Structure 1
């Protein structure tokens, strides 16, 4: 409402998309319960956890896509702030890769057996990451500078998910068991990373001109 009152319509639209995505969590979660509940050995608790992980990706990706394709800015905008160059991408991807290795080692040491939660988490993460990188590549090739800039931010935010995951897992494990900490990180880290990317791209729309 503040953004709308200050006539920052682009910012208002992005925040509304985020709000509606959060509202859609409840019906999306119930549909995912039905999808994951097909398995014979699936319990109600496991179905809820799987649905929570998948919905964290699904609803926020929907909000991001809605924001990107409702963007009325010009394809090329001189006003757009500039992130650091390729070294930032290299740094994020390198640290993220190291965090993935750390997570894998911790999981193998502390938990061991592969469970459906891990499978759903990995599949959702790879699908979103590949989709965002592909969108950035397409925007770059077609000369859509603003779109490519936004997709770069979203790609980096998804790539940074393992960093947040490791931090959340460590924090949750101080109050709960290691496996419960893993569950908590799986439910919250992806949504946090996607939200950070969306908030950053929303912030740069402030006072943006078409």
Structure 2
């Protein structure tokens, strides 16, 4: 039985919509417990259905341990959770093809509203992280660091999407908005991964489960954004006319990646000594996404779609260079944490950083080189 691409597309968006409709109200309601004792505690009760929140368990102790942290920044977190939840709900409307086609004014209004509330959400997220510090954040520096990257990437994408639409670069705007929404989806994706791991693995691995969720959700979301952007249509820049299409770039990424991988293994053996579940999960996810990019590139080339083949080659090259990104991040993180902790943080963060750096030229190839078109008002005169 063959499943059509349209069926897969509808199923994927239905899953995203359901996840947003379930998670967003829970995220908004979650902070209510820090303001009133009568909050329904939807998120905690849902989690309790999977694993006990008894204070004696690891899960329970972690949740109770975070109470002072959230109480100390409850107003900041209230703004963050409310705006993030609203952004997820607006995202469903923003990416509706029917809304864009039949009600463009609604699409423009929801887009402006989404950019504003996303900016508020990410600024408050950064405020919370810096106010809390890496040591007091759930799962410590590794989780703190990935959340910091997520917030910066979402905020940067919102700014770039705004600048693109001001210049009437529609495809470029779509690419950045898609990336922004995909990174917002990392919040429910992380929870889904954590709950799944609690169901199929150990109930005493809550801390590492969160690191696995954060490390896997980021690159998975960016890859998903690339798939969606490809469905919006081909890029504006023809293959071969951009430096990222040059064969030397692809070959260089493989050489740099191989050298970087050897260096990462040697440094890791000295500093970490073993590969635990979070490191193994992130490595497996990175290799799986790399193989997916290779398969899509070969499939596109066989079908004669050279634009798609070059697009997937860009993301492939970025993922191949993940070890190089890891070493660069480690050098930076050593300024803030001990070398072993810095290396651990770098390994978990490098896949999302690498694929995001690859997504940037992937998106910029959607930019039209033509000068901004005149408005309909000017044309009427």
Tell me, yes or no, whether TM beats 0.5: yes
2:357 pairs with one of 196, 199, 208: 196
Q: Distance in 1 between matches of 2:239 and 2:355?
A: 26
Q: CA deviation at 1:24?
A: 0.7
2:336 pairs with one of 175, 189, 203: 175
Listed as ranges, the matches of 1:58-207 within 5 Å are 58-73=220-235, 77=238, 80-83=241-244, 85-207=246-368
Q: Give ranges in structure 2 of 5+ residues lacking alignment.
A: 1-161, 371-381
Indicate if the aligned counterparts of 2:293 and 2:312 stay in contact, CA closer than 8 A. Answer: yes
2:205 pairs with one of 37, 40, 43: 43
Name the count of aligned residue pairs. 208
Which 4+ residue blocks in structure 1 deviate beyond 6 angstroms?
Answer: none
Q: CA deviation at 1:143?
A: 1.2
Q: What's the TM-score, normalizing by structure 2?
A: 0.51
Q: CA deviation at 1:72?
A: 4.6
Post-superposition CA distance 1:13-65 (Å, at most 9, x none): 10110111121111111101112224226432211111111111211111111
Q: Distance in 2 between matches of 1:181 and 1:66?
A: 33
Post-superposition CA distance 1:113-133 (Å, at most 9, x none): 221122102111110111101
Name the CA shift for 1:99/1:41 in 2 (closer, same or farther; >3 Å).
farther
Equivalent in the alignment of 2:93:
none
CA RMSD of aligned residues (A): 2.2
Name the CA shift for 1:79/1:100 in 2 (closer, same or farther; >3 Å).
closer
Name the CA shift for 1:78/1:149 in 2 (closer, same or farther; >3 Å).
closer
Post-superposition CA distance 1:81-113 (Å, at most 9, x none): 254643332221111111111111111122112
Q: Distance in 1 between matches of 2:240 and 2:258?
A: 33
Q: What's the TM-score, normalizing by structure 1?
A: 0.89
2:184 pairs with one of 6, 14, 23: 23
Indicate if the aligned counterparts of 1:79 and 1:208 stay in contact, CA closer than 8 A. Answer: no
Q: Give ranges in structure 1 of 5+ residues lacking alignment.
A: none
Q: Distance in 2 between matches of 1:165 and 1:192?
A: 9
Q: Distance in 2 between matches of 1:110 and 1:3?
A: 43
When Rg is computed on C-alpha atoms for both structures, the one with the higher figure is 2
**SS in structure 2 at match of 1:37:** helix
Indicate if the aligned counterparts of 1:64 and 1:198 stay in contact, CA closer than 8 A. Answer: yes
Q: Distance in 1 between matches of 2:239 and 2:336?
A: 48
Q: Distance in 1 between matches of 2:341 and 2:258?
A: 23
Q: Distance in 2 between matches of 1:57 and 1:147?
A: 19
